[in-house]
Amino acid sequence: LPPKFDWRDKNVVTPVRNQESCGGCWAFSVVESIESSCAIKGRQLELLSAQEVIDCSYRDAGCKGGSPINALIWLNQSKAKLVKESVYPFNAKTGLCRYFSRSALGVSITGFKAYSFRYNEDVMMEKLLEWGPLVAVVDAVSWQDYLGGIIQHHCSQGQSNHAVVITGYDATGDTPYWIVRNSWGTKWGVDGYVYIKMGKNVCGIADSVAVAFV
Amino acid sequence: SAGSLQFIHKYHVFQQNVQRHETMNLFSSNFWNESGSAVYGINQFSDMSPEVFRATYLGSRSVQLPKYTLFSKNAKKLP
């Protein structure tokens, strides 16, 4: 494995979004994973609708919260077409689900994988390269105050509450870290990203990991 | 506006948050002398109590998932 890797360098990662005061991180993470999977497959990199997932994933509670896994189960079972962000824009509120015909332009997933990589972050590195950016559910309570640097403490395992996307890692320095994309805008963290120490399941980064395939 | 109840409440929350930043930064630098350790401080969430922050932004529920094993790797190759 390369000592350093970031899917952003391959131009398959869309810009950081802002979920505003909507607790829809679970939907953003899934949609961002699908956007990257499409681009890795050679399609044009484009923003897809997180609002569609917020409104339509019936197993979840829209802006009041949800689970990326439930959203992936819904997307996989329904084969719903995820349309472009411009067609179904984000409005930071849970609304009525808008349905699109099977002939509508959009992306449906062919499947997904979801595993725990606890105590197995070496394999997770491998899977990041093989599968593409990974959805992860973490404990982000202390992230309220994060400005930059590598998170190594003040974070618990097994109390996950926030969904993000792992786009890469850097193991060239003294403290290897995951490069994690958040959905709180670019003014937060390092241009919207956060770094988490590798190998110790910091913030539960390896506890709940998923990826969608297109 | 300055002087309003909301302002006073948010300012109080802000002061508590700043104290927490100091503790968190001190902990990282004093107890562990690690390279590149995270820095905590004032950002767009600093006038928000941890409870409000949690309720507003941390909306993901966790689901118990199977551990990835070599078996999971081989299983996908089966017809």
Higher pLDDT, A75 or B28: A75
**Residue from B35, B39, B62, B64 to probe the interface with A (highest A Cβ count within 10 Å):** B62
- Residue with the two structure tokens 């044009």: A44
Of B17, B24, B68, the CB nearest to A115: B68
A13-26 average pLDDT score: 97
Q: What is the pLDDT of residues A113-131, one digit of tens each?
A: 999 999 999 999 999 999 9
What ipTM was predicted for this assembly? 0.91
Mean pLDDT of A122-143: 97
B interface mutation test: which of A22, A138, A145 has the most B CBs within 10 A? A145
Q: For A177, left (φ over 0), alpha (ψ -120 to 50), or beta? A: beta
Residues of A with Cβ-Cβ distance to B67 under 8 angstroms: 115-118, 120
**B57/A23 Cβ within 8 A:** yes
Size of interface A-B (CB pairs under 8 A): 156
Q: Is the pLDDT of residue B77 over 80?
A: no
pLDDT recorded at residue A106 = 93
Tell me what the mean pLDDT of segment A21-33 comes to. 97
Q: What is the pLDDT at residue B63? A: 85
- Interface check for B71 against chain A (CB to CB < 8 A): the answer is no
Q: Cβ of B3: how many Cβ atoms within 10 Å?
A: 7
> Residue A22's pLDDT is what?
96
Mean pLDDT of A195-214: 96
- Active-site residue flag, A153: no
A140 HSE (CA, 13 A, CB side): 33
Residue corresponding to tokens 């390092």: A190
Asked whether the predicted pLDDT for residue B29 surpasses 70, the reply is no
State yes or no: pLDDT of B34 exceeds 90: no
Nearest to A177 by CA among A146, A200, A161, A204: A200
d(CA A151, CA A16): 20
Average pLDDT over residues A160-180: 97
Using pLDDT thresholds of 50, 70 and 90, give the confidence band for residue A63.
very high
CA distance B14 to chain A (A): 11
| Spatial contact of A179 and A133, defined as CB atoms under 8 Å apart | no
Q: Which residues of A touch B35 (CB under 8 A)?
A: 173-175
When pLDDT is cut at 50, 70 and 90, the band that residue B2 belongs to is: confident
pLDDT score for B75: 52
Mean pLDDT, rounded, for A190-199:
97
For position B62, what pLDDT does the model report?
Answer: 81
Give the pLDDT confidence score for residue A173 in this predicted structure.
94
Please give the residue that has the higher pLDDT: either A185 or A157. A185
**pLDDT of amino acid B38:** 94
Is the model's pLDDT at A62 over the cut of 70? yes
Amino acid at A113: K
For residue B72, the model assigns a pLDDT of: 58
**Least confident span in A60-74, A134-148, B29-43:** B29-43
Beta-carbon separation of A149 and B56 below 8 A: no
Does residue A154 have an active-site annotation? no
Instruction: Give the pLDDT band of residue B71 (cuts 50, 70, 90).
Output: low
Residue A103 C-alpha, separation from nearest chain B C-alpha, in angstroms: 30
Give yes or no: A70 in active site: no
Judged by a CB distance cut-off of 8 A, whether residue B70 touches chain A is no
Give the model's pLDDT for residue A36: 98
Q: Is A83 helix (H, G, I), strand (E, B) or coil?
A: coil
Mean pLDDT of A173-201: 97
Of chain B, the percentage scoring pLDDT greater than 70 comes to 78
Q: Is the pLDDT of residue B24 over 60?
A: yes
Question: What integer best gives the mean pLDDT of chain A?
Answer: 96
